[in-house]
């Protein structure tokens, strides 16, 4: 099979890139070893995080560093034997998290964040999946009055970004979410973000739109990619696929394809877990609620209340070790009357992270026709559609809406 572009990876980033390339007049094949949205795009918190204008930085105060070093917190965990391997990356992450460099990262990410909701809206309406989207924001909850004062001050510091929010005392929070216990004493309610009831279904909905518009899906092993003449060839289950351009949008597996081509990219993964729970009879949850002092989030999903953990530093392919789910299950039970788990085992996924807290979007410097779109860390679901639109403009040589230089591999 011959086509203009092969997109490797049918997660939210790859599907979005394929849709935008198709809209630009290219013939596109979207290849994955599994179905759309069955990997990292399935297991996120379902947030389109319009309010997350400051990237998640490495802590630089000694109190936090000591707390995490003890390896018993619910929000961050590491495998001790893995530390020597990840230490150089963590050092780079720490270096990029200085106040000045963090400010530069936030400025670089702002054009993507600002357009995140609008670009999802454009695809969501065409895909016919509006029922999956909720426009009630999300809640940053705290367990103390001192925590509420800090959260309110941090929200006020974001005033230059023009974000909409409300500071809720205990009574206002109880009126909004009556099933939350009094252990949560207040919150900041961010109004700009959108959340969804099933992020995997959103990705599948976008993929179905891609097929309705004439795009082709294929199963295959992206690691079979090789140069072929003036283009590229990858082996699909139904035979080889050849294209002039290829997009690597494989999230945490992107380096498996790029290392054999000579690229040494400083990307690591933060593993994370989720599990769905029923609520006791009569209880309800209408908004995603983060316990920002404990580092987890609960959000209403189609399957139940999804409990989502923080970060685990471990080898990407190591066996799951869902200690964080066990820790946060007890903490979440203090806030909500959680019932039985829906799944027998927690789900595990990997967030692909660059140490400078911005993704790689753009051309490969040494291989014409090779394009990259990965490394979105905690914001992959948020930034899939806007990333796809930006990348499609670069591939088709159209003027992008904003400067892509901060996301280039040679930055």
> Mean pLDDT, to the nearest integer, of 158-171?
96
Give me 372's structure tokens.
């990259």
Residues 153-164 have pLDDT tens digits of: 999 999 999 999
> Distance between CA 298 and CA 274 in Å, rounded?
9
User: Is position 317 within any domain?
Assistant: no
Helix (H, G, I), strand (E, B) or coil at 47: strand
For residue 172, what pLDDT band results from cuts at 50, 70 and 90? very high
> Distance between CA 55 and CA 373 in Å, rounded?
18
User: Is position 176 within any domain?
Assistant: no
Specify the number of domains making up the chain.
1
Helix (H, G, I), strand (E, B) or coil at 306: strand
User: Is position 2 within any domain?
Assistant: yes
Residues 56-113 have pLDDT tens digits of: 999 999 999 999 999 999 999 999 999 999 999 999 999 999 999 999 999 999 999 9
The pLDDT score that the predictor gives to residue 42 is 94
Range of the domain at 245: 1-57+97-134+196-267+354-411
User: Is position 48 within any domain?
Assistant: yes
User: Is position 88 within any domain?
Assistant: no
Number of Cβ within 10 Å of residue 130's Cβ equals: 10
> Distance between CA 285 and CA 7 in Å, rounded?
38
User: Is position 149 within any domain?
Assistant: no
Residues 360-371 have pLDDT tens digits of: 999 999 999 999
The CATH number of the domain where 120 resides is what? 3.50.50.60
The number of angstroms, rounded, from the C-alpha of 124 to the middle of its chain's C-alpha atoms is: 18
> Mean pLDDT, to the nearest integer, of 265-292?
97
Which pTM value belongs to this model? 0.96
Phi, psi of 376 (to 5 degrees): -85, 0
Helix (H, G, I), strand (E, B) or coil at 402: coil
Helix (H, G, I), strand (E, B) or coil at 82: helix
């Amino acid at each position: 099979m011959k086509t203009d572009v092969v997109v490797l990876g049918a997660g939210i980033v790859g599907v979005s890139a394929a849709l935008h390339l198709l809209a630009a007049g290219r013939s596109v094949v979207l290849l994955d070893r599994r179905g759309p949205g069955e990997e990292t795009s399935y297991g996120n918190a379902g947030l389109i995080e319009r309010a997350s204008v400051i990237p998640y930085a490495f802590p630089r105060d000694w109190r936090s560093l000591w707390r995490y070093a003890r390896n018993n917190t619910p929000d961050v965990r590491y495998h001790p034997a893995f530390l020597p391997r990840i230490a150089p990356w963590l050092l780079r992450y720490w270096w990029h998290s200085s106040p000045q460099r963090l400010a530069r990262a936030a400025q670089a990410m702002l054009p993507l964040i600002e357009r995140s909701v609008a670009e999802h809206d454009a695809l969501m309406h065409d895909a016919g999946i509006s029922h999956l989207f909720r426009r009630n924001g999300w809640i940053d909850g705290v367990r103390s009055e001192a925590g509420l004062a800090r959260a309110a001050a941090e929200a006020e510091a974001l005033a230059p970004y023009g974000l909409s929010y409300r500071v809720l005392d205990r009574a206002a929070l109880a009126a909004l979410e009556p099933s939350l216990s009094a252990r949560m004493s207040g919150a900041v309610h961010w109004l700009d973000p959108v959340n969804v009831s099933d992020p995997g279904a959103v990705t599948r909905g976008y993929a179905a739109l891609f097929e309705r518009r004439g795009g082709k899906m294929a199963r295959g092993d992206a690691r079979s990619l090789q140069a072929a003449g003036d283009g590229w060839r990858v082996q699909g289950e139904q035979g080889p696929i050849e294209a002039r351009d290829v997009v690597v949008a494989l999230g945490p597996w992107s380096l498996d394809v790029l290392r054999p081509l000579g690229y040494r990219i400083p990307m690591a993964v933060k593993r994370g877990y989720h599990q769905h729970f029923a609520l006791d009879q009569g209880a309800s949850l209408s908004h995603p609620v983060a316990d920002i002092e404990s580092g987890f989030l609960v959000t209403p999903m189609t399957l139940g209340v999804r409990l989502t953990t923080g970060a685990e530093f471990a080898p990407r392919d190591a066996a799951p070790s869902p200690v964080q789910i066990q820790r946060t299950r007890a903490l979440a039970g203090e806030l909500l009357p959680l019932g039985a788990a829906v799944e027998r085992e927690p789900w595990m996924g990997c967030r692909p992270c660059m140490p400078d807290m911005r993704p790689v979007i753009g051309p490969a410097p040494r291989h014409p026709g090779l394009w990259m779109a990965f490394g979105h860390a905690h914001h992959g679901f948020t930034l899939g559609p806007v990333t796809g639109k930006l990348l499609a403009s670069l591939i088709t040589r159209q003027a992008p809406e904003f400067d892509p230089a901060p996301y280039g591999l040679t930055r």
